[in-house]
Structure 1
Amino acid sequence: MIVDDDPHICEIVQAYCEREGFISTYSHSGTEAMKLLASFEPDLIVLDVLLANENGIDWCRNARSYTNAPIVFLSSREEDEVKISALSYGGDDYVTKPFSPSVLMAKIKAHLRRVSTGRREQLLELPGLTLDFYAQSVNMGSEPIFLSKKEFSLLSYMAQNVNRVVSSDALFQLIWGMESLEDTRTVAVHISNLRKKIEADPVNSERIITIRGAGYMLVARSALQERT
């Protein structure tokens, strides 16, 4: 997916993408692109920093709630602080204009190769619970469990730190960010909702346990049995 307010740039990038056999689409505004994100489900996004009346870096940051696809910035801005900000808020690469279409395509293909290779490593299996980080989906046994984006983010972070305590502050900063208007009590609400979906008895939780004064721990069933 190409997001750039310059129709000429969109047409050039799309032509090169299709020459390589990729299915592509483009949008000239961030608002339209956000709607397109859900229906097109891109494997990679080429994004301008300066969109009409919008900031591409802010768009990238918001898009990270909906997609893990690599985002390659394509921009006339050459300042280091802009590049650092773009890469810090979810970008995977940065190409400056004027650009070589061949170099851009080489970068696109390199990122897609890494996604393809990493796809096999995107499954995390725990006893009775499987997380697919690429599809952002969860299965209990063979049954899919439908989680919100925030719930999946919380569960996936705890799953990557299974059998270890994760503080409420760490979860809050990771999921909601420093500039959020929410407070850390929001974590408890989402943990409660998550328990209702993955626990046999949410009141007496066995998967996600509360460590008083410290935070939460996702417990693998085998570890739980050993403690018992």
Structure 2
Amino acid sequence: MNKYKIMIVDDDPNICEIVQAYCEKEGFISSYSYNGTEALKLLASFKPDLIVLDVLLANESGIDWCRNARAYTNATIVFLSSREEDEVKISALSYGGDDYVTKPFSPGVLMAKIKAHLRRVSTGRGEQLLELPGLTLDFYAQSVNMGSEPIFLSKKEFGLLSYMAQNVNRAISVDALFQLIWGTESLEDTRTVAVHISNLRKKIEADPANPERIITIRGAGYMLVARSSLRART
């Protein structure tokens, strides 16, 4: 079985070495970088399955780095940060993060979260495509195309979209989406679903402020609408 690859981006060498040691103990392949510029180069060559990313890099915001990296990868991104403010957490998740762990952190808890994310990446993969009007999901490659244009989604975004696509034209509750994608062990709350739905709309809707693909059903949740009038975004 192929080993998962974990990339660590933190300007604190001690953090990098601690996380790498725990990753190797779990049998993962790992590599790290101390700054954003080198981390982008490492991203291209290493092709990680999951990234552990500091919110505060030496000369750059980790959130900005995450937003830029989303043009090149849909790897799960777990933020590490000493910042506990809600607005920082919301910003980190809004710009492509999948999870948020505050410092000081327990390496054991961090590894449990990493393994939980990787389980969800591997669960339910099949060599199949699901084609909707203007939208194609590849469950094996965990990728999405709108027409011929690839759309880069985070693991959480892909999980939400794929579940709704398999239940197309059916309202799904926020609680159901949260339990499916984040799991019962998650320390997040259900408001996280709204953040990721908003990010999805920015990527697949012609007008995210007036969505036609992912619509809100008041009192019921969200629905992915599939009808022939919908076309790939240009």
Q: 1:109 to 1:136 in 2, by over 3 A?
A: closer
Q: 1:32 to 1:169 in 2, by over 3 A?
A: farther
Q: 1:226 to 1:151 in 2, by over 3 A?
A: closer
Q: 1:162 to 1:11 in 2, by over 3 A?
A: same
> Could you tell me how far 1:173 is from its partner in structure 2?
28
Q: 1:8 to 1:80 in 2, by over 3 A?
A: same
State the TM-score, normalizing by the size of structure 1: 0.59
Cα RMSD, aligned residues only: 9.9
**Range moving further from structure 2, 160-169 or 53-62:** 160-169
**Range moving further from structure 2, 198-207 or 117-126:** 198-207
In structure 1, the gaps of 5 or more residues are none
Cα pair 2:73 2:152 within 8 Å, conserved? no
Q: Separation in 2 of the partners of 1:187 and 1:91? A: 13
**Range moving further from structure 2, 79-88 or 153-162:** 153-162
Q: 1:111 to 1:199 in 2, by over 3 A?
A: closer
**Range moving further from structure 2, 186-195 or 94-103:** 186-195
Cα pair 1:68 1:134 within 8 Å, conserved? no
- How do residues 37-76 of structure 1 correspond to structure 2 at under 5 angstroms? 37-76=43-82
Tell me whether 1:148 sits opposite 2:146 in the alignment.
no
> Could you tell me how far 1:209 is from its partner in structure 2?
22
Q: 1:195 to 1:177 in 2, by over 3 A?
A: same
Q: Which has the higher contact order (CA 8 A, sep 6+)?
A: 2
Q: 1:134 to 1:86 in 2, by over 3 A?
A: farther
Q: 1:95 to 1:27 in 2, by over 3 A?
A: same
> Could you tell me how far 1:183 is from its partner in structure 2?
35
Cα pair 1:196 1:202 within 8 Å, conserved? yes
Q: Choose between structure 1 and 2: higher helix proportion.
A: 1
> Could you tell me how far 1:116 is from its partner in structure 2?
0.8
State the TM-score, normalizing by the size of structure 2: 0.57
In structure 2, the gaps of 5 or more residues are 1-6
> Could you tell me how far 1:169 is from its partner in structure 2?
29
**Range moving further from structure 2, 31-40 or 142-151:** 142-151
What are the Cα deviations for residues 100-147 of structure 1, in whole angstroms up to 9, with x where unaligned? Answer: 000000000001111111543984246999653674768999999999
**Range moving further from structure 2, 35-44 or 49-58:** 35-44
Q: Separation in 1 of the partners of 2:71 and 2:233? A: 36
> Could you tell me how far 1:180 is from its partner in structure 2?
33
Count of aligned residue pairs for this structure pair: 228
Runs of 4+ in structure 1 over 3 Å off: 118-123, 125-131, 133-228
Q: Separation in 2 of the partners of 1:81 and 1:189? A: 12
Q: Separation in 2 of the partners of 1:197 and 1:84? A: 18
Q: 1:217 to 1:47 in 2, by over 3 A?
A: closer
**Range moving further from structure 2, 167-176 or 81-90:** 167-176
Q: Separation in 1 of the partners of 2:76 and 2:180? A: 19
> Could you tell me how far 1:198 is from its partner in structure 2?
18
Q: Separation in 1 of the partners of 2:160 and 2:14? A: 41
Cα pair 1:66 1:149 within 8 Å, conserved? no
Q: 1:27 to 1:173 in 2, by over 3 A?
A: same
Cα pair 1:206 1:219 within 8 Å, conserved? yes
Cα pair 2:11 2:58 within 8 Å, conserved? yes
**Range moving further from structure 2, 144-153 or 25-34:** 144-153
